[in-house]
RNA sequence: GGCGCCGUACCCAAGAGGUAAGGGAGAGGUCUGCAAAACCUUUAUGCAUCGGUUCGAAUCCGAUCGGCGCCUCCA
């Protein structure tokens, strides 16, 4: 199976070839745990999860590493901003460590609700300070650094090809930059590897280092940890679309300056979820969390399905209407699967006949840079194709779901076990129906609905299901 | 100012030279005591606008209009 991926490095579609046959090393930039993740953040993790599952589908053994940034980053790069962790801690009246632990838990809770597979390795920045110090030492030894004002800087002029990922060489910095240039920097794009001088509030997280007590710059953790767990060269590095210009550009410079070798082969970046006219961002105050969606009656998987509806490299507009459409779509798939399951008895282990053609289409589209919208279309077309035996449709759908991961293997006709009262009401209603007292029957149906139970009459008797969330949300 | 991206039906959204996927919503129908569910049918001679290249363009080129992102922490 040939997997094509769009590589940000070089801006072209490439056939994926791992460094080591059958194995993939993949590093994904994780969350900074100073606040809840919003659904925009989560979109990127869903994209990475789809990537991981597609790689597994293609037969690769995937080693997936993700960092958790639990050491402060500035709120901006002007060296005047506040430390995000500190800010979060102060506002919540807790220690930075408590804040980090709390939001890390919250993050992985959401992660799981979205059926994102836990990374092979989850690494916390604060647990790898020594690795960062060692890496900075190597960079220093290779002559890529200078010290100014107590901080260790990376000198980009020493690194040929700096900014290749983001095509920075084709850009001009606007004259009279909008941020005050750090006087210590030789070049505006130089960046700090190790801080000992903090211009802002008291820094409660500091460590000893060869350059003095301080804390690491905000790019070094990804270089240090990814190489620790995946080796000095590995296959895939991904993250949000905001990363190429600064974060990933600097990671590349540091890493390759340290090892003298090309670092990562494929760079993949997920586009923004946009809210209204702007990207969703904590600073813009327009962010929505997964919990908010759940409170409004959505299943986390409705959001997963919603994300699957658009390609990961295009901006996706978040609207409640769109999310409702996704819910209806997902429910449709789930119902269809339950129906097929009821019709097919024991499904064969793998699809046969015409279902194979659908599988082939699905694979072509999945391997074409993770074209999930197209894959979803393949799923739907197959599900509705009466020429394909139910057992084959079911088997194929479940196979496809190893990538979608909408929990289809668990989808069944929701069997409601009626309690005594419900049972009594149902009996009364059937009696009324037999006596053709439909007015009373409809009244009882309304009573049951009020109890959250929907009654559907069928030739085989009344069927019960849990009433779907009917709330109108906006 | 520089760089990058986008504009497809009521909504979301694929397609990237060969004649518009899919979902949602709406409409009609079958079934039903009625509903619901299910199933069937239906909804863009056209893909921002105007030119150009081509046998052929939503897809390539140019211009125009509109929108977004990055150049500053950010998924």
Protein CA A172 to sugar C1' B19 (Å)? 43
Do A390 and A439 belong together in one domain?
no
pLDDT at A326: 94
Count CB atoms within 10 A of the CB of residue A343: 12
Do A191 and A83 belong together in one domain?
yes
**How many folded domains does chain A comprise?**
3
Q: CA A82 to CA A6: how far, in whole Å?
A: 36
Do A327 and A447 belong together in one domain?
no
Do A435 and A394 belong together in one domain?
no
Do A242 and A353 belong together in one domain?
no
Do A47 and A178 belong together in one domain?
yes
Q: A84 in a domain, yes or no?
A: yes
Q: Which residue is nearest to nucleotide B12 (CA to C1')?
A: A322
Q: A296 in a domain, yes or no?
A: no
pLDDT at A84: 66
Q: Which residue is nearest to nucleotide B33 (CA to C1')?
A: A438
Q: CA A303 to CA A330: how far, in whole Å?
A: 10
- Which domain covers residue A434, as residue numbers? 420-466
Do A61 and A115 belong together in one domain?
yes
Q: CA A450 to CA A466: how far, in whole Å?
A: 11
- Supply the DSSP symbol for A207: B
Do A204 and A227 belong together in one domain?
yes
Q: A304 in a domain, yes or no?
A: no
- Residue A34 belongs to domain with CATH number: 3.40.50.620
Q: A107 in a domain, yes or no?
A: yes
Q: Which residue is nearest to nucleotide B21 (CA to C1')?
A: A377
Protein CA A335 to sugar C1' B60 (Å)? 44
Do A378 and A265 belong together in one domain?
no
CA A220 to chain centre: 22
What is the full per-residue pLDDT of chain A (474 aa) written as tens digits?
A: 899 999 999 888 999 999 999 999 999 999 988 888 999 999 999 999 999 999 999 999 999 999 999 886 554 444 445 566 666 666 667 778 888 899 999 999 999 999 999 999 999 999 999 999 999 999 999 999 999 888 999 999 899 889 889 888 766 655 444 455 566 788 888 999 998 876 555 567 889 999 999 999 989 999 999 999 999 999 999 999 999 989 999 999 999 999 999 999 999 999 999 886 667 766 556 678 999 999 988 999 999 999 999 999 999 988 888 999 999 999 999 989 988 988 887 767 788 888 999 999 999 999 999 999 999 999 999 999 988 989 999 999 999 999 999 999 887 665 677 788 888 888 899 889 888 888 888 889 888 888 878 888 887 788 887 765 433 333
Do A247 and A112 belong together in one domain?
yes
Do A244 and A367 belong together in one domain?
no
- Point out the domain boundary residue: A254, A270, A286: A270
Protein CA A314 to sugar C1' B54 (Å)? 30
Look at the block and give the residue holding tokens 């953790």: A221
């Amino acid at each position: 199976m040939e997997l094509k991926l769009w590589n940000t490095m070089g801006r072209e579609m490439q056939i994926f070839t791992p460094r080591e046959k059958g194995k993939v090393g993949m590093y994904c930039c994780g969350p900074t745990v100073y606040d809840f993740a919003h659904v925009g953040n989560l979109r990127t993790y869903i994209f990475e999860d789809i990537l991981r599952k597609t790689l597994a589908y293609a037969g690769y053994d995937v080693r997936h590493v993700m960092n958790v940034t639990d050491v402060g980053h500035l709120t901006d790069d002007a060296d005047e901003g506040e430390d995000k962790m500190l800010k979060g801690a102060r506002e919540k009246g807790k220690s930075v460590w408590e804040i980090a632990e709390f939001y890390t838990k919250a993050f992985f809770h959401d992660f799981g609700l979205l059926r994102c597979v836990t990374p092979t390795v989850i690494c916390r920045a604060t647990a790898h300070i020594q690795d960062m110090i060692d890496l900075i030492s190597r960079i220093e030894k290779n002559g890529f650094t200078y010290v100014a004002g107590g901080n260790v800087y990376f000198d980009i002029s020493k690194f040929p090809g700096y900014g290749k990922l983001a095509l920075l060489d084709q850009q001009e910095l606007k004259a009279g930059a909008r941020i005050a240039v750090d006087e210590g920097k030789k070049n505006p794009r130089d960046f700090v590897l190790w801080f000992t001088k903090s211009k802002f509030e008291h820094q409660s997280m500091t460590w000893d280092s060869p350059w003095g007590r301080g804390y690491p710059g905000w790019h070094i953790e990804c270089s240090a940890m990814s190489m620790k767990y995946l080796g000095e060269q590995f296959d895939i590095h991904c993250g949000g679309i905001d990363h190429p210009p600064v974060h990933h550009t600097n990671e590349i410079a540091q890493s390759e300056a340290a090892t003298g070798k090309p670092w990562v082969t494929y760079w993949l970046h997920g586009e923004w979820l946009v809210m209204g006219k702007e990207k969703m961002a904590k600073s813009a105050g327009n962010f929505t969390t997964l919990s908010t969606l759940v409170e409004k009656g959505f299943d986390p998987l409705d959001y997963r399905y919603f994300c699957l509806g658009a390609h990961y490299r295009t901006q996706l507009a978040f609207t409640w209407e769109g999310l409702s459409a996704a819910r209806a779509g997902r429910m449709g798939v789930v119902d269809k699967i339950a129906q097929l399951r009821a019709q097919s008895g024991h499904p064969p282990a793998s699809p046969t006949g015409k279902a194979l053609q659908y599988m082939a289409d699905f694979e072509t589209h999945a391997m074409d840079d993770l074209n999930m919208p197209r894959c979803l279309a393949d799923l739907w077309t197959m599900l509705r194709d009466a020429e394909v035996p139910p057992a084959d449709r079911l088997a194929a759908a479940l196979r496809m779901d190893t990538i979608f991961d909408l929990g289809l293997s668990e989808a069944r006709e929701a069997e409601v076990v009626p309690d005594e009262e419900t049972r009594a009401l149902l009996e009364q209603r059937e009696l009324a129906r037999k006596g053709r007292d439909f007015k009373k029957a409809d009244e009882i149906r309304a009573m049951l609905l009020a109890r959250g139970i929907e009654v559907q009459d069928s030739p085989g008797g009344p069927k019960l299901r849990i009433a779907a969330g009917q709330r109108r949300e906006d």
